[in-house]
Amino acid sequence: MAEPTDPQATGSIVRINLTDPGEGLTEAEIVDIKVAVGDTVAINDAVIEVETAKSAVELPSHVAGTVTKVLVSVGQEVPVGAPLFEIDTSGGPAPQQSPAAGEAVESTPQETAQAASEGDESKGASQTKDSQQEDTAPTGESEQPKDEDQPKNLVGYGAPSAPQRRRRRRTTQEEDTQVPIDRILAKPPVRKLARDLGIALADVLATGPDGTVTREDVLAAQQRAMSGDTVGVQDGQYFPEESPQAPAGLDAAMKSSLHQPFAGVTSDERTTRVPIRSVRKRTAEAMVASAFTAPHVTVFNEIDMTEAMRIVQQLRASREWQGVKVSPLVVVAKALLTAIRRNPEVNASWDEDAGEIVYKHFVNLGIAAATPRGLIVPNIKDAHLMTLRELAEQIDELAKTARAGRTPLSATREGTITITNFGVFNIDSGTPILNPGESVILGVGAIKEKPWVVDGQVVPRQVAQLALSFDHRLIDGALGAELLRDISAVLEDPSLGLVWG
């Protein structure tokens, strides 16, 4: 595996590797490839999208030039240091894709003019970015470093835009036969089927109109894989694993990127095998580590949420809160922060290696979010300093970002205490497992109308159950019960937040 800080380069050809953006990334799944062979890229152009342990992120190129090789395909899981692209940084004209044997590729004058125009636009965009970097660079770094001094690996979360692709004309032979495609076209149901079966669309031979991958194509790819006919991709060409035409001289990381283990419906159609990867893999690792490291204790309390819900309704109807999404979770978060202020000892972590208990004077409040990729727990930094409105805005933004799969890795780091909301699934309660490195997690059940005794009378009230799990190495039962009691008190009588806050 190539070192992520020492990319291989021959002359003007630079190999771009997958690197850790500085937050412990060890591997990532390729979600989307935004460039193809022949594309011109500028510095900071987004070239690839990967799914990490917690989210999907776009990674930019840190060199400018022309893509000469694409060494990975969509759906592959590659380790840090694995090669992704080769880019010609000489600044010459974009090389054309090599035609297959016996294939003639022609370019019309209109296509030639369009390619030249795209090259000019890319050059102009690159010059514009260079000038912006000079205007905003810190003192001592205003000059653009030379190409040989540029970092050659992908790092960070990428730019919002991707370069335009140039597409070569298809010949009659290509249109009449099954051929792999550089840009994958598939309808959402087909993409879902491929994902469920563990089939990478980049490994599917497309037979639909204009090179579209169909449902039948995905099922055919599955059958080929089940029969042992593993297919790999290199430079836009596909090879069975033992094919004599497969490229020779590839390093281990590149060979790993060509061939992926099969998963799908078994021949008897009684089971489906799906690779354990990305968010699901990391969630499993974290939960096992937490469950078998921290001795969990969970305490429960059923509370009257009527007054808290009245405040939620008032805020929703207020003109000053127009455009702000107000949910019961916002009020619960504020009550938890108030209770932590009264019981600061719970905001701690157990450092086994150092033999120390680390008490934290800040609260990074985690909000467990169910996403299409699985459960993630991004956190709101310094939530203890925020007003109720700021909390509402941050929780709403956190939820939107998580659902879109755009949560940055930094948002999942350094959490201190977490809230998980069973209520969104209409579940009354549960026993939440601690987020690794944290000492407390609060579970909130569904808020339902139930009979409740008030001043000796049975009346209908809005009732919910709270479940508080804590690390018994750090928190004794009395302290855990005290914390849950204070949370409950603020939710039942929100005016206490003014007195205790």
The set of catalytic residues is 472
CA distances from 347 to 37, 353, 418, 449 (A): 52, 19, 11, 33
CA distances from 448 to 37, 296, 317, 451 (A): 58, 28, 21, 10
Kindly report the number of other CB atoms within 10 A of residue 69's CB atom. Answer: 18
d(Cα 418, Cα 310) in Å, to the nearest integer?
25
d(Cα 232, Cα 344) in Å, to the nearest integer?
55
For 202, half-sphere exposure in the C-beta direction (CA atoms, 13 angstrom radius) is: 27
d(Cα 331, Cα 445) in Å, to the nearest integer?
14
DSSP symbols for 326-395: --HHHHHHHHHHHHHHH-GGGSEEEETTTTEEEE-SS--EEE-EEETTEEE--EETTGGG--HHHHHHHH
DSSP symbols for 74-120: TT-EEETT-EEEEEE-S--PPPPPPPPTT------HHHHHHHHHHHH
User: 87 near 16, Cβ under 8 Å?
Assistant: yes
Residue the block writes with tokens 């921290």? 294
| CA proximity to 252, closest of 412, 88, 82 | 82
Chain length of the chain: 501
d(Cα 233, Cα 240) in Å, to the nearest integer?
9
CA distances from 211 to 142, 163, 176, 188, 319 (A): 46, 22, 10, 15, 52
Q: Is 336 left (phi over 0), alpha (psi -120 to 50) or beta?
A: alpha
| CA proximity to 496, closest of 308, 304, 303, 299 | 308
Residue 239, C-beta contacts closer than 8 angstroms, at least 6 positions apart: 231, 232, 233, 245, 246, 247, 258
